A and B are shown apart, each in its own frame.
Chain A
């Protein structure tokens, strides 16, 4: 089954404790991205990757890092989480090469930073 998986689905942590949210897709997609969803703000892009070893900032990259060492994986790293990073996070992927291609979303990771 074609899918995007994220882990963990739920995470409660404390300020300053480094964490990683994993994302993996099994569709051989080139393009992957991370979004955060906040009430009243919709989804905002954090980082994206056009292919292996190619990443770039989205609209709200501060406080986040990403890496793309393999085509299927695109982890999101919070080196020193803060309470304002409490949010619902989604990973997405698509084939790229055309603005009509569907983006597939993971199930989401709900993060709470105390």
Chain B
């Protein structure tokens, strides 16, 4: 079956540090891949997505590249801000299926 494995948290970084949150997946074919962000007390919001191999999704300074050879979709940001503190979820959606399969989430805290 489909599954998503993401970096265990929590992750604590200083402001302006470089961020990487690892995500790997198991699925047949070429699923679409997503990163969602959940700010305190809110629902999930789509952060970025990639629908085919070698696609790079980007938004708000975050980037992730769909790597078919390593079945990975790692989230990166060059310089984090306090406002980036949130829980980040990696997810996949198989071709022809609307269901999202989520990773367990990674809590990120940025300290000034």
Contact = CB atoms under 8 A, between A and B. Distances in A.
Interface in A85-114: 90, 92, 94, 96, 99-103, 105-108
B46 A102 contact: yes
B93 interface: yes
Contacts of B42: 107-108
Given A99-B31, A99-B51, A100-B51, A31 B43 contact: no
Contacts of B79: none
A44 B99 CA distance: 10
Interface residues of A, number: 26
Nearest to B31: A99
A106 B99 contact: no
Given A33-B99, A48-B99, A99 B93 contact: yes
Contacts, number: 58
22 contacts: A31-B98, A33-B98, A40-B104, A41-B104, A42-B4, A42-B89, A42-B104, A43-B89, A43-B100, A45-B99, A48-B99, A90-B43, A99-B31, A99-B94, A100-B32, A101-B98, A103-B46, A105-B36, A105-B43, A105-B45, A106-B43, A107-B43
Interface of A: 4, 31, 33, 35, 40-45, 48, 50, 58, 90, 92, 94, 96, 99-103, 105-108
